[in-house]
Structure 1
């Protein structure tokens, strides 16, 4: 019997650290929030260059890489933005799947517990129709398997 191992990561780390883990993982679930560096930086406070570079390196290593997109209204929720992320994912060697993760406020209490302001409290989750449109954008424009949630 085997135990499946996985990691969920933003990929915001030196690749040498990530590389040490890869032989022990059955799957790497990696968040890609945006492919536009300026928009990513404005929303997260960090450049996405290291993240995108690490996604390429993880894929090139032969790891089972699944791209996950936390879909956040007012940040990366348009068909065009999801299309761009999906096209980036599709060109990564071996990547076959992308998950669209609907925005939710489940982390709001964690922020309160840490005494921090939850900056997204004024953002409402998407409706199912909007998420289905994004799902269809990926399915109609790439060969990737796409699902909502994951």
Structure 2
């Protein structure tokens, strides 16, 4: 029964440490729990077995944990979990296509200072630098910057 408890503690500790590295890197909670369980297993070996056997368990545990980490890094197991592509798209990246400074449109909602205006038969969210613009007023695009349409009446 002593060996079953000892091996269970050491395996659970190893699994938690590997889970920290593979599935939840950066949280350190799972890795710390795995380290604590491994240390508890080694402590259990020292209080329930002879010292020479306990030192052997300590050495074997260190070798197995280190070997699992080295093998994992060298075999490329970790690369299955790594992100290999970058997201390059942007939200509303083509929203301002077809619009130009000086283009005229019509306010389809009150613009105070943000509202909606119609340009090229399409509704756009716009911002006014000149304050309140009532619905139905003709507006002119004064600036296009950072995906924002700035208008004046």
Give TM class, smaller chain: under 0.3
Higher relative helix content: 2
Under a length normalisation based on structure 2, what TM-score does the superposition of the two structures give? 0.26
Query: Taking structure 1 as the reference length, what is the TM-score of the superposition?
Result: 0.26
* Structure whose CA Rg is larger: 2
